[in-house]
Structure 1
């Protein structure tokens, strides 16, 4: 964690050790015959010895094992581990990250409510909010979010939720989580964050006053690019509202088999994040010095305009970032095509390195054109092999 400056390193190291212990240590459950891994409860329903115990369970199907659309022991175990990592009271796992986001927003919003959302939030999240605006008269205000005043100026009497994503997953812009939480608590606004980029290894928003933290578990939690999932964590009171309105009724649940794959990924999450951080920084620093690159969007770099804020609220850095170039998108796509070890795909978080190329309307070159932006995800490959790969690709487009 050599890129973290100006913080109490002993405290950070202690938290790091706790994470490793939390993901790898369990009390042996005699019910499972001492199995080191919780079994996959691959069943849709649970039977009862008599009607009295069945009637008791039916009084609160989200507290008992009645039907796997409500509770499943394998999924419940995963939820308890994530709540512990997040320093939260309770978690709920969903079929995908988008299911968690949509289910949570659906449960907490009503017609006439107002939402403040960062304009760089995940595209489908914005699409869902726009759908709620058109069909259910939920008012949505999009803000840049790099300044706390962006949120202060947007607050209305009917503001119900402030939704942030820090860092964002395109230009990697941050929001002041403690400042937003303090602002929201003054007026009873619920705060939500998509924390998929950092994971609880590198950022725990609940400890900064944020009410709900969501993740696409498809990414770093899984770590193997073989399953989809989402999770929301917060107070028991808020999770209860989400369970009843956005979880049970919409049915976007996580299956027991998926939960077992997520548990497997969770065991190595801190170790993998350490590797991602190290490899990502090596490549970000290489690109920052490259003549074909104008700017690298990585919060750990001193050149990032919010580097100081990143040092304050992040314990580390994942390996998803982007860089900007004056080269046209068509040429940069040729560069991406020439890469051998990077695959062209959406998402991130697995063992394989990924690349996509696009433009960004948020930035301007001196000549008024939009720069091309390449988003990189650095997987488990040797970072210097990846650098050699990029160098070969640069040579192919250098003639431009």
Structure 2
């Protein structure tokens, strides 16, 4: 039985809880506080607030259930859910660094993460070096005596490059630094970084984990010690909590995550393989394709691929935007992970990765539609752009 097949049961099965009268879904505990029968009980609970239900800003049963399920799926000791992916990312970073510390971050990480590290945290005396994360030599060269954090994102947001997670974790441990990775792309189904030595894992629950484009959330996972540190400080003090309503939606979406990821992987590869053959495409950036320069590394640290990828085109930017306008099934929009396919068109970053003089970079998210319909849509839109009706 494959890892993904084992996860089918892990996400779908729950023992019935007599406290909930056999309800097939954990109820939404829509209350701000929890009352006690006696002051002795209250005093005992206050001694370990996060181990008891006192106030929903600290610990809500619906949210706690989701955290338990996510930790199990990610194969981590503990998890803490937040109001958004950025709340999880910023809280995890702030739990590690202090004034005067140095961070090394991949230069293709999620834009708001780069802004948080490069601009916001610099106000508090935290300096960040942004490097090509695919090069271990750059990681080693960027290390300073005050380096406290390696921030990873594998694959990266737009060019879908990988970092060698085992080697990065080993290097960080050797200098006493902590590793954090954004694992949103691969999901717990296809990559478990804690098993490769990474300390903390963050996800935007908004994407594949939620799976239905109906909620916003984030999660931090890792050892009990590191997650409890975040719980007691950044989580409680900054207040970026997940609501029980959101947790209930995510818990329902989580039940089908392995099945959805299986479909996304198959459909995404089918569309990517089609695009490789198109004349207007100069390069397809998909870690699941054998043509990807880090394909072997991906095979060694991931058990599958998701369905977000990009391609470079030498065609003019405005022409590619017009192509996107004519697509029927691919909607123009940010985010991803739901049932609907999405497209965005941008100007490539001006660096050595675009030395082929590509004029546009197109990011596609392949949703739950029939991939043959998506491919036909791509072809039809391109034909209309090249041969517009007079």
- TM-score, length of structure 2 as denominator length: 0.97
**Is 1:287 paired with 2:275?**
yes
In structure 2, runs of 5+ residues without a counterpart are none
Deviates more, 1:132-141 or 1:329-338: 132-141
1:370 positional shift: 4.3
**Is 1:93 paired with 2:81?**
yes
1-side partners of 2:71 and 2:121: how far apart?
A: 31
Deviations 1:287-341 (A, max 9, x none): 0011111110001111111011011111001000001110011110000001011
**Is 1:140 paired with 2:128?**
yes
1:107 positional shift: 2.2
Deviations 1:148-183 (A, max 9, x none): 121111111111110010001201000000111111
2-side partners of 1:52 and 1:22: how far apart?
A: 38
Structure 1 partner of 2:2: 14
2-side partners of 1:66 and 1:334: how far apart?
A: 54
Q: How does 1:238-317 map to 2 (within 5 A)?
A: 238-317=226-305
8 Å contact 1:108–1:241 — kept in the other structure? no
Which one of the candidate residues 7, 20, 41 is aligned to 1:53? 41
Which one of the candidate residues 357, 364, 367 is aligned to 1:379? 367
Which one of the candidate residues 217, 229, 243 is aligned to 2:205? 217
2-side partners of 1:230 and 1:356: how far apart?
A: 23
Structure 1 partner of 2:354: 364
1-side partners of 2:122 and 2:2: how far apart?
A: 48
Q: Secondary structure at the match of 2:105?
A: strand
Q: CA RMSD in A?
A: 1.2
**Is 1:153 paired with 2:141?**
yes
Q: Secondary structure at the match of 2:374?
A: helix
Deviates more, 1:87-96 or 1:355-364: 355-364
Q: Secondary structure at the match of 2:368?
A: coil
Structure 2 partner of 1:6: none
Q: Aligned residues, how many?
A: 386
Q: Secondary structure at the match of 1:302?
A: coil
Q: Secondary structure at the match of 1:248?
A: helix
1:134 positional shift: 2.8
Runs of 4 or more, structure 1, over 4 Å off, are none
Structure 2 partner of 1:174: 162
In structure 1, runs of 5+ residues without a counterpart are 1-12
2-side partners of 1:113 and 1:365: how far apart?
A: 35
Structure 1 partner of 2:377: 389
